Structures are given as C-alpha cells and as structure tokens.
Amino acid sequence: MVAVLPPVIPPAIIQTLPTPAPSSNLLSTDLTQNRIEVSSSFQGAKVVVYGAVVESRDQPSDIVVVVSGPRASMRLIRKVQVAGLWLNSRPVVFEGAPGFYMAASSQPLDKITGFSNRRRLGLGVDYIAMDTPRDTKIVTRYGVRDVVVNSLEDDYLEWRQAVTRLKQKSSLYSDNPFGVRFVDRNLFRAEIDLPSDAPIGTYKAEVWLFRDGEPVSYSAKLLRVEKVGFERFIYDTAHRRPWLYGIVSALICIGLGLGASRIFRRG
Amino acid sequence: MQAFAILAALEPEPVNVDIYLPIAEMSVNVLTMIGLGVLVGFVSGLFGVGGGFLMAPVLVSLGIPPSVAVASQAGHVLATSTSSVMSYSQSDSVDYRMGAVMAAGGVVGAVIGVEIFRILRLLGQIDLVVSLAYLLVLGSIGGMMLKESLTAMLLRRKGEAPPRPKVKRPVWIYGLPFKMRFPRSGLYISFIPPAAIGLLVGILSAMMGVGGGFLIVPAMIYILRMKASVVVGTSLFQIVITTFVTMILQAVRNHSVDMILALILLAGGVIGGQAGIRMANRFRADELRAIMAVIILMAGLQMGLSLFVPPQNPFVLVPTGQP
C-alpha cells in the first residue's frame, strides 16, 4: 500500500492528466444556466446539470457529475500544545485546491469504479487533486532516486483530510452519492447548490459515463459565477484603483459621521 | 469567543433581509449588522473608545474573514468617532493640539504595526501575539482602572473626599525638551510623551486591529494627567485621524475594505453613538470608568483564555493574504 500513498505521486501528473478519450461520445449534457450573476441580493444559487446517454439500450450505466470551482491556494495551521498553551504550527500551503467541489453520482462512487480511476479523475472529496509543493522534497527511496515526497510524510493525509473536513463543514465541498437521478430511461439530472460564499470565478461541470467500472464517455461544460452591477463596480474599483477607493471610502464615512451629528444636534 | 458567540445568538430571530458583501464575498443579515453597529456605537459614545475591540470578534464569529472585518469596521469607527467628536467639540471638550500631536505618533506607529502584523501573519503566529497582547494589555489596564474607580466610589459612599492623586506626573516628563502649551488640557509639557504614547498605541492598535481608545484614555488619565473633561473628546479626535490613515492603508495594501459592510455598520453606529453620549451625562465619571474596566477585563480574558482552552478543531484554515 506504500506505493499508493498520495505524497509519492508528483502533483504535476495529476494536473495534466488528459481526460479519458472516449471511442465515441455517448453523452450529451448541459446546464440550466452557464452564468450566475452575483448581485446584492445573492443568497446562493441552484444550477441543474442535465444530460442524456445516447444509445444506452440495455447496458447498465453510471453517471458521475463533478463540479469544481476556481482553484486557489489555501493555508492551514494546526493548534499544538506547548507548555500548556495552544499555539499555531507553521502554516502548510495547499495549492490547486478547488474553492468549490461537488461530486454527485448515480450510486456511491466506490461501487461505480475503483481507487485508481477515482484518484486519476479526482472523483470524490477524498480524491480531489491538491498538493503542498512548498513542502515537498526530493529523496531517494527504496533505491529509487529523485522521488518527490511530502515533508509532512505520514501526517500529509491527516492535513489533507482536515482541509476537506473544514470545507465540507461550510458546504463548499460535498459528495452526493445519489445526487444524479435518472428522470427517464436515458435522461439524468443533478442539482448543484452554490452557497452564498461560493468563490467567484469559472467553474467546470464534468460528467462521466461509467460502464463496468471504466469511464467510457466524458463531457464538460463551463459555469461562470460573476459579480454584476454595483457589487462588481465596488469590487473592481477596490482592486483597480485602491487609493481612490480607500480615500473616497474614508471620506464618505467621515461625511456621514458629520451629517449624523448635525441631524442629532438639531433634533 | 464563546461569550461573543452567545451574544450573537441572543439576537432576535433575524428577518430575512440578506445582502451580499462584494469584498467579503458572502451574504449577511442586514438587521443583525445594524444591531451590532448600534450596540458597539453605544459603547463607543459612552466611553469614548472606538469599539473595535468588541466588534471585530463578533464579526469574525459571524463568519466574516478577519482581514475584512478589521478593515471594514474602521469605517464604522471613523463615522461614529467623527460624529462624537463634533458633539464633544460643542462643549469645548476636545484638545485639538494634543490630539494632533498624539495622532502624528499614532500614524507612524500604525505603519510600523501593519508591517509587524504582516510578518507575524506570514509566520502563522499572529493569533498568539494578538491573544497575548489582549490578555496583557487589556488585563492590566482593565485591572488598574477597576481598582482605581472602585476605590473612588467606596470613598464617595463613605462621604470622604477623593484623595488628590499622590503621584503627579512622573518627574522625568518635566525634564524633556520641546515644551508645548496645551491650554485645554491644562498642561505645559514636552510633546515627546504624547507623541510616544501615540506611536506605541499606533503599533499595538494596528496589530490588534482596533482603534486604540481603550489604550489612549488610560494613558491620558494616568500618565499625562490631562484635565478629565477633555480626555474622551481628545481621544476620539486622535482615533479619527489614525483610523482615517489606517482605513486607506488597508484598502491600498490588502484590498480588504468592504464599503457595503462599513455602511451598514455605521448606520447603526452613529445612532448608538449619539445615544451613548447622552447616556454618558447620567453617570458619574468613576462609575463609567468601573463599567469600562469590567468590559476591558472581560475582552482581555476572553482572548487570553483562548490560549489555554483546548481547541475544538485543531486545524484552522487561514487566509492566504492574496485574494
């Protein structure tokens, strides 16, 4: 089992793996929306991934839908007790972790396919591709030179699980084992619930068709979550003209304070 | 943090009036935020402090990223303090000259403090330093104020006149050069002590993410021995200038000022602030100081004790710094 420990696998391979090349495309999918507008009344959104299996006939098929949000690095610290005080460890940086992740399937993923496919395709919260490149080192192991291992060694899995657990708690990561429903013989749908704090950016909705534990067809659609209107104006100004934004903001606050004192003095 | 969480939970069942915050990138309940603004504004007007040391922990417990909470509440502090300074200046209880000298030190201190904050945050040790700073600074100031004000209250009960402060100003203050007159404060001293206090408070307040009123007020009372009537107004004036600079710096360096959040908070804040100022006239100075001492002590212990309590979840996600 040593060989399958995630730290031993170089992250670059995970990132650049080609999606499975199906012999013929048996999947046809789309989203109910491919653009979500985040305005001041945004309280989360629901998007439906739907699709059809072409030429399903009588073959048993499993569908896996994975929606993942924009990738960003995350820093995780661990509280450790030193002389009775709970202090922070050095932060560990996880790179490439998606800001949102949902895996829905027509039945539990471990019944659909095996470990290696799940790991390769990133199916399921525990198989999301992310790594801690700043903490890797190259060593010689079992007589093999230049093996990339994680300097966290055996703790790596624990750290990684902590990331997914925290994200699951805030409903940003989820596994939905029966989230894909066949509404008709060959027609399926899966609902995506985006919480209000889902990150802004481009999402990818990927759909796999599995037969006998192997991916036979693949389809992907993009979903853009973007701020619009006043929200967008504020965000853009804050990032593109920070001096102007800061000075105007501070002056508005002072002005409102002055105005309030006028009103109260007269009242 | 638990007490703040309870405080937040005690809010009446929120009506569904949510608004999305563009910088925090999440939605919040408007009424909860206005309520928080009123509450902190009231404390701010009553005691002449910015109130940041109360507001930041509540905002964070409501799920707002700490960097956004600290930067945006600056807008609330700015508006509430401006409105309060105007009220105090009507009764001639602001020493603008003293405030400006302290603010000059404060601005330099804030710049240094923000840098220390960045370095510590990169090392992941900011929590420890912030908790220790709260425990030591707030604990000692709160304890000192509580003892002093309780003694004064006890003496008043017995009908005795409060004793004249035995130790006047530390003698070395008189030996310093560059003396200035501060007529409103009734002082003729070197500008070095006020500026140094401003600098120190600026560093600490930038690191603790607060305005620093709870540090300035005791320093004015116990070290500079300013005329009591101008202490609160002058401290608020000092806070306005320092916070103005801090807010702009936060916007430029961290892009973490959420104007929508700031506007919601300050809407409640100015109302609470005015109510607080009116209420302040009904209390005796020593009673006010005793209440403030208890609040400061509690805030200090709350943060400090978090170092000793085993965390529920040993792992914590921290902001990456760059969005």
Per-residue pLDDT tens digits for A34-82 = 899 888 888 888 999 999 888 756 667 889 999 998 887 777 878 888 7
Report the residue of chain A nearest B318, measured CA to CA: A75
User: What is the domain range of residue A90?
Assistant: 2-227
- Who's near A264: CB < 8 A, 6+ residues apart? B83, B87, B274
> What are φ and ψ of residue A40, in 5° steps?
-65, -20
Domain shared by A163 and A251, yes or no: no
Domain shared by A267 and A152, yes or no: no
Report the residue of chain B nearest A237, measured CA to CA: B255
Which is more confidently placed, A192 or B223? Answer: A192
Residues of chain B contacting A38 with CB distance shorter than 8 Å = 20
Verify whether the Cβ–Cβ distance A77 to B318 is below 8 Å.
yes
Domain shared by A56 and A144, yes or no: yes
Calculate the average pLDDT of chain A.
80
Report the residue of chain B nearest A200, measured CA to CA: B25
- Tell me how crowded residue A85 is: count the other CB atoms within 10 A of its CB: 13
Chain A to chain B, count of Cβ pairs less than 8 Å apart? 185
Check pLDDT > 50 for residue A1. Answer: no
Domain shared by A59 and A138, yes or no: yes
In contact, A63 and A207? CB cutoff 8 Å: yes
How many domains in chain A?
Answer: 2
Paired tokens of A108? 């539990």
Check pLDDT > 90 for residue A171. Answer: no
26-45 in A: which are within 8 Å (CB) of B?
A: 38-44
In contact, B87 and B278? CB cutoff 8 Å: no
Paired tokens of A192? 């995506």
> Looking at the complex, does the CB of residue A80 fall below 8 Å from at least one CB of chain B?
yes
Q: Closest partner residue to A242 among B22, B240, B251, by Cβ?
A: B251
pLDDT (tens digit, 9 = 90+) per residue, B196-213?
Answer: 888 888 887 777 666 677
Domain shared by A221 and A247, yes or no: no
pLDDT-derived band at A146 (thresholds 50, 70, 90) equals low
Domain shared by A188 and A252, yes or no: no
> Looking at the complex, does the CB of residue A257 fall below 8 Å from at least one CB of chain B?
yes
Domain shared by A140 and A241, yes or no: no
- Residue A142: what pLDDT? 61
Report the residue of chain B nearest A74, measured CA to CA: B320
Q: Closest partner residue to B318 among A75, A231, A256, by Cβ?
A: A75
- Residue A12: what pLDDT? 41
Domain shared by A158 and A251, yes or no: no
Percent of chain B with pLDDT over 70: 84
Phi-psi region of A266 (alpha: psi -120 to 50; beta: other; left: phi over 0): alpha
- Residue A24: what pLDDT? 61
Domain shared by A192 and A111, yes or no: yes
Using a 10 angstrom Cβ sphere, with 0-12 exposed, 13-18 middle and 19 or more buried, the burial of residue B281 is: exposed
Pick among B253, B315, B318 to test the A interface (most A CBs inside 10 A): B315
The domain spanning residue A62 has which CATH number? 2.60.40.3880
Domain shared by A212 and A94, yes or no: yes
88-127 in B: which are within 8 Å (CB) of A?
A: 90, 123-125, 127
Domain shared by A134 and A238, yes or no: no
Which is more confidently placed, B23 or B15? Answer: B23
- Residue B218: what pLDDT? 77
Residues of chain B contacting A155 with CB distance shorter than 8 Å = none
> Looking at the complex, does the CB of residue A197 fall below 8 Å from at least one CB of chain B?
yes
Between helix B96-123 and helix B126-133 the angle, nearest 10°, is 140
> Among A7-16, A21-30, B50-59, B113-122, where is mean pLDDT lowest?
A7-16
Verify whether the Cβ–Cβ distance A246 to B252 is below 8 Å.
yes
pLDDT (tens digit, 9 = 90+) per residue, B40-51?
Answer: 888 877 876 667
Verify whether the Cβ–Cβ distance B18 to A43 is below 8 Å.
yes
Check pLDDT > 70 for residue A136. Answer: no
Mean pLDDT of the region A118-128: 86
pLDDT (tens digit, 9 = 90+) per residue, B142-187?
Answer: 888 888 888 888 888 877 665 555 555 566 666 777 777 887 777 7
> Among A229-243, B46-60, B78-92, where is mean pLDDT lowest?
B46-60
- Residue B227: what pLDDT? 78
Paired tokens of A174? 């989820």
Domain shared by A189 and A236, yes or no: no
